[in-house]
Amino acid sequence: MGIGRYIAKRALTSIITFFAVLVLTFILFRLLPGNPVLLLFRNPELTQQQISQLSAQFGLNKPLYEQFILFIVNVFRGNWGLSFYYRVPVTQVLFPALLNSIILILPSTILAILIGVGLGVLSGWKRNTLTDMAVLSSSLVLYAIPTFWLGILLIMLAVRIGGIPVSGMLSIGVSFSSPLQYLGNLLRHLLLPMITLTLVTLGQFTIIMRTSVINELTEDYVVAAYAKGMSESRLISKHVVPNAMLPTVSIIVISIGTVVAGAVLTETVFSWPGVGTLIYDSIARRDYPVLQGAFLIVALSVIISNFIADLVYAYLDPRVKYS
Amino acid sequence: MSTLDVYDYLVRYNSTFSPVVPDLAYKWEVFPNNSAAEFWLVRNATWSDGVPVTAQDVIYSFEVANNSASRLQPQVSIITSIQAPNNYTVIFHYHPTVLFMAYTAAAVPIVPEHVWIKYVPNPSNSTALTDYQDYPLVSSGPFEVTNYVQGQYIELTANPNYFYVSMRPHIQHIIVQFFKDTNSMVEALEAGQIDAVAPTILPSQVKTLEGYPNIRVVVEPGEEFWYIAVNVYPYGHGNPTLKDIHVRQALAHAINYTELAQVIWQGYATPAGGLLPVGNKFYDPNLTPYQFNLTLANQILNDAGYKMGPNGVRVSPSGIPLSYTLYVINEAPEEVEAANIIAGWWSEIGVKATVDAVDAGTLASIIWPNFTQDFDLWDWFTSPALPTLLDVFLANQTETGTSDSGYNNSAYDALYGQMITATNYTTVYKDAYELQQMLYQDLPYIMLYYVKSIEAYNSQAFTGYFDNMTGGPFSDVNWYTFIDLQPASTSQSSSTTTQQSSPTSTVSQPTSSPSSGPSSGSTPSSTSSSGISTPLIVGVAVIVIIVVVAAVVLSLRRRPTT
């Protein structure tokens, strides 16, 4: 099978998946018990007439299949509806939150990947030594630490040190005289949440990388190369790591794909106005339009990154194309 | 709170919740028949865009409040007509009631007709009203909203032209920042990054704050209470044994309210008797919590013929076991614990209660419209000024999704009607007490406790917090704090070294919507250095009052009742 056909096949699968996600998204939120109108307007003085009027206004009184057709048509028109809760177009709520999340999560994920993969290689290379034990156990501990706890711990630390903002994205009410000042302020606010998020996510990369490095190290070609007298560092960097990266690639790409899903816990601890908390709040409020929008974006992003992972895989491992 | 400080009203509540403080109306007169009132408006009030405030704005505001999409509609629906004989006089005619001033006149913020009419030309068009964002916001009150970012913060700036000179704010900017997590919020207060926290922090956080000499913790009666609603709906599908008053009495006697308040709220809650909490004007001190007495509870059940079954669960004379599901809102972990403790006491009288923690949406769908639940443990927030939460028990509230007990008592309905149409306060009080008495005896709710409001602020940064009020300095009825705040001048000089220039902040409760929408509009003028030097004390005052409005918590746990 040629590379062209391979790509086409993968693309088709991705599109089908996307449609399945569309249908699921719609059904899923309608299955949640609870009526958004009753939740939003919970007021002992609301009359039955007011309730039906509000339902009509939100289109909740139409039959489900009609709501579904409307939903599909509108998704492709770029009309994602009005948020029940905020009463503004979904895109106006969703996109700023998405951007905020990406600002926090993308650098953290990249940092976690770099540090995690590095530590994994080190640990696999020096397996069963003190270094390995130290790296492995600290990775496991970090992976298992509750985000909330770590976040609060860092906040307490920052409070003792002083000068490090512990909440929000920017100092509120300050007008910045230059873009540089703005950036500086943002970076200071980014510090704690980024450290938290990096620490709690890097463990998974370390562990996977370590395992696959150890796997590679037991391969015959490694023994042969070693016997030939190839230096250990050259062996690791030129032969072992590229091969060991294969299983890690998929988890890396998917991690990057889920950047748009936000990080609920970190965002909550640091009051970071991201998409994770938006999704969480919207579930509680039964804000279907926002949820649908958010899930579509997350799904789209994961599907696209999977597609990319497939391509990268095919490039890294030519055998894939023939399978 | 910010609505109160941004918009003007005809009149305002004083600190004991009587509608007697002049605002846009400098003088008013209620006609002796209690069905009409005349208001004389000040002539020097202007909107933030310079246009004068007139009687037309008042009429328009009350018309908008009567829109079906408005939370205020029930409160203004008693009005039959409004006239403006001239630009500065307004006359209301309404169905007779002495509550008009407190319930209606003091409830409606006056909005600018000339701005709103462009978007909501017909005040009764509900679609136009819901879609209107009201931002940038034109207002006439002591503060203006100068910046607003959804879910993050609101910046208020003092209105230099405020007509009511004695009510002009002393500080230039107040920022209300919203936190998602109370622990982070309290840490930010400790770090000096914010100056106050509200609306309610947890008892466990009070201890930490006590270690800081500059932080003052204020504990006042709150607006929230927790209860167990019993499904007594005649057409409901819960366990039918709960319709027997003996069972409800036994259950009420099998809860140790004092211990519960101590264990769950570490004393920051008062064991409850009547429906309206301590701090509400219509709180009835004669209704004390049911006495905790397991022997008595067992006795009641024995006498009513509920025999102990083989597995320790009693069975009704007709063979139905006293085995129930106790739903509790899962957003409040401490209340889930309370439910478990209560289930423990109940098991000692042969009642089995399985605790099930669910989210508000799920619980609502279990209760309405079919009433399939046995119990729900939930909370209400209620304005301290009014007895109108009593309407939750009206028979017609079962369909609208507010009555979670399904209480159905025509005598109660009639008495409620009498209360809200009474033409003197003696009757209102008498009826409010009598209604609470009926609930206390009939037990559609087993009242648990009234939660106190715990708020805190850095007393070395600012002074003038108006503490002594139900709900504390930052409650949704306290409009004094923001106006009275001033820099704590002595210590200010020593602590200003940290050039923390964040302005101030308050809470906007999601009641009547003053503002919502994307940010933009005028930029705040505060800079970190002393740039603006207002005639007021220290140039830019720096206060950050922080409020956790965990939006989830607010929208689900708190059910404001205006």
Rounded Cα–Cα distance for residues B439 and B447 (Å): 10
Q: Does B47 touch chain A (CB under 8 A)?
A: no
Rounded Cα–Cα distance for residues B76 and B418 (Å): 18
**Residue matched to tokens 């409606």:** B108
As a whole number, mean pLDDT of residues B260-270 equals: 95
Q: What is the ipTM of this complex?
A: 0.74
Neighbouring C-beta atoms of residue B18, cutoff 10 Å: 16
Whether the pLDDT of residue B541 is over 50: the answer is no
Q: Does A171 touch chain B (CB under 8 A)?
A: yes
Count CA atoms closer than 13 A to A159's CA, side-chain side: 21
Assign A43 a pLDDT band (cuts: 50, 70, 90): low
pTM: 0.81
| Contact across the interface for A42 and B559, Cβ inside 8 Å | yes
Neighbouring C-beta atoms of residue A138, cutoff 10 Å: 15
Rounded Cα–Cα distance for residues A195 and A274 (Å): 16
Taking CB atoms and an 8 Å cutoff, what residues of chain A touch B539? none
Taking CB atoms and an 8 Å cutoff, what residues of chain B touch A43? 71, 402, 559-562
Q: Tell me, what DSSP letter sits at residue B167?
A: G
Whether the pLDDT of residue B290 is over 70: the answer is yes
| Contact across the interface for A175 and B173, Cβ inside 8 Å | no
Cα-based distances in Å from B491 to B186, B459, B463, B527: 22, 10, 11, 21
| Contact across the interface for A284 and B179, Cβ inside 8 Å | no
Distance from the B473 Cα atom to the nearest Cα atom in chain A, whole angstroms: 22
| Contact across the interface for A57 and B130, Cβ inside 8 Å | yes
CB interface of A with B, residues 221-280, below 8 Å: 267-271, 273, 277-278, 280
CB interface of B with A, residues 21-40, below 8 Å: none
The DSSP secondary structure of A179-194, one letter per residue, reads HHHHHHHHHHHHHHHH
> Which of B77, B184, B545 is best to mutate for the A interface (most A CBs within 10 A)?
B184
The DSSP secondary structure of B495-506, one letter per residue, reads HTTS------B-
Whether the pLDDT of residue B262 is over 60: the answer is yes
Q: Does A178 touch chain B (CB under 8 A)?
A: no
Q: pLDDT for B127-157, tens place per residue?
A: 788 778 888 899 999 999 998 887 788 999 9
Rounded Cα–Cα distance for residues B462 and B496 (Å): 12
Q: pLDDT for A68-98, tens place per residue?
A: 888 788 778 877 777 878 878 888 889 999 9
Rounded Cα–Cα distance for residues B526 and A264 (Å): 32
Distance from the B506 Cα atom to the nearest Cα atom in chain A, whole angstroms: 13
Distance from the A26 Cα atom to the nearest Cα atom in chain B, whole angstroms: 18
Whether the pLDDT of residue B526 is over 50: the answer is no
| Contact across the interface for A44 and B561, Cβ inside 8 Å | yes
As a whole number, mean pLDDT of residues A172-197 equals: 87
- The percent of residues above 70 in pLDDT, for chain B, comes to 86
Taking CB atoms and an 8 Å cutoff, what residues of chain B touch A155? 183-184, 187
| Contact across the interface for B402 and A175, Cβ inside 8 Å | no
Whether the pLDDT of residue A319 is over 80: the answer is no
Highest mean pLDDT among A122-126, A223-227, B293-297: B293-297
As a whole number, mean pLDDT of residues B401-406 equals: 88
Q: Does A319 touch chain B (CB under 8 A)?
A: no
- For residue B175, the SS3 value is strand
> Which of B389, B400, B513, B556 is best to mutate for the A interface (most A CBs within 10 A)?
B400
| Contact across the interface for A174 and B526, Cβ inside 8 Å | yes
- For residue B554, the SS3 value is helix
Structure tokens at B246: 């003996």
| Contact across the interface for A173 and B562, Cβ inside 8 Å | no
| Contact across the interface for A33 and B559, Cβ inside 8 Å | no
| Contact across the interface for A171 and B181, Cβ inside 8 Å | no
By mean pLDDT, which of B83-87, B163-167, B252-256, B314-318 is the weakest? B163-167
Assign A289 a pLDDT band (cuts: 50, 70, 90): confident
Q: pLDDT for B441-469, tens place per residue?
A: 999 999 999 999 999 999 999 999 999 99
| Contact across the interface for B400 and A273, Cβ inside 8 Å | no
CB interface of B with A, residues 124-143, below 8 Å: 126-127, 130-131, 133
Assign B2 a pLDDT band (cuts: 50, 70, 90): low
By mean pLDDT, which of A312-316, B172-176, B512-516 is the weakest? B512-516
Q: Name the residue among A39, A48, A51 with its Cβ closest to that of B361.
A: A39
Taking CB atoms and an 8 Å cutoff, what residues of chain B touch A285? 551-552, 555-556
CB interface of B with A, residues 353-372, below 8 Å: 359-362, 364-366, 368
Assign A44 a pLDDT band (cuts: 50, 70, 90): low
> Which of B144, B147, B180, B394 is best to mutate for the A interface (most A CBs within 10 A)?
B180
Q: pLDDT for B60-88, tens place per residue?
A: 999 999 988 788 888 899 999 999 999 99
| Contact across the interface for B502 and A173, Cβ inside 8 Å | yes
CB interface of A with B, residues 291-310, below 8 Å: none
- Please tell me which residue, B99 or A286, carries the higher pLDDT value: B99
- For residue B419, the SS3 value is helix
Sheet bearing B36-41, strands edge to edge: B25-30, B36-41, B89-94, B79-86
Measuring CA to CA, which residue among B244, B248, B247 is closest to residue B229?
B248
- Beta-carbon contacts of B515 under 8 Å, excluding residues fewer than 6 positions away, are B133, B134, B135, B137, B145, B148, B154, B508
Taking CB atoms and an 8 Å cutoff, what residues of chain B touch A290? none
Neighbouring C-beta atoms of residue B467, cutoff 10 Å: 15
| Contact across the interface for A173 and B359, Cβ inside 8 Å | no
By mean pLDDT, which of A22-31, A135-144, B438-447 is the weakest? A22-31
| Contact across the interface for A88 and B517, Cβ inside 8 Å | yes
Q: Name the residue among B151, B179, B528 with its Cβ closest to that of A167.
A: B179
pLDDT of residue B545: 40
Measuring CA to CA, which residue among B309, B282, B503, B473 is closest to residue B391?
B282
pLDDT of residue A66: 83
As a whole number, mean pLDDT of residues B110-123 equals: 94
Whether B519 and B149 have beta carbons less than 8 Å apart is answered as yes
Q: Name the residue among B187, B391, B401 with its Cβ closest to that of A156.
A: B187
Measuring CA to CA, which residue among B505, B560, B530, B558 is closest to residue B146?
B505
> Which of A30, A31, A32, A45 is best to mutate for the B interface (most B CBs within 10 A)?
A45
The DSSP secondary structure of B330-394, one letter per residue, reads TT-HHHHHHHHHHHHHHHTTT-EEEEEEE-HHHHHHHHTTT---SEEEEEEE--TT--GGGGGGS
Rounded Cα–Cα distance for residues A191 and A181 (Å): 15
Q: Name the residue among B364, B388, B400 with its Cβ closest to that of A46.
A: B400
Whether B322 and B241 have beta carbons less than 8 Å apart is answered as yes
Residue of A nearest to B403 (CA): A44
Whether the pLDDT of residue B506 is over 50: the answer is no
Q: Name the residue among A44, A88, A155 with its Cβ closest to that of B391.
A: A44
Rounded Cα–Cα distance for residues B235 and B134 (Å): 43
Whether the pLDDT of residue B561 is over 60: the answer is no
- Please tell me which residue, B260 or A75, carries the higher pLDDT value: B260
pLDDT of residue B524: 28
Q: pLDDT for B23-58, tens place per residue?
A: 999 999 999 999 999 999 999 999 999 999 999 999
Distance from the B176 Cα atom to the nearest Cα atom in chain A, whole angstroms: 9
pLDDT of residue A58: 66
Chain A to chain B, count of Cβ pairs less than 8 Å apart?
Answer: 187
Rounded Cα–Cα distance for residues A265 and B181 (Å): 10
Taking CB atoms and an 8 Å cutoff, what residues of chain B touch A53? 68-69, 126
Q: Does A49 touch chain B (CB under 8 A)?
A: yes
| Contact across the interface for B361 and A45, Cβ inside 8 Å | no
Neighbouring C-beta atoms of residue B512, cutoff 10 Å: 17
| Contact across the interface for B551 and A171, Cβ inside 8 Å | no
- The percent of residues above 90 in pLDDT, for chain B, comes to 70
As a whole number, mean pLDDT of residues A238-260 equals: 84
CB interface of B with A, residues 242-271, below 8 Å: none
Q: pLDDT for A7-16, tens place per residue?
A: 888 899 999 9
Whether the pLDDT of residue A219 is over 80: the answer is yes
pLDDT of residue A320: 67
Q: Which residues pair with B463 in a beta bridge?
A: B486
> Which of A167, A177, A268, A275 is best to mutate for the B interface (most B CBs within 10 A)?
A167
Whether the pLDDT of residue B519 is over 60: the answer is no
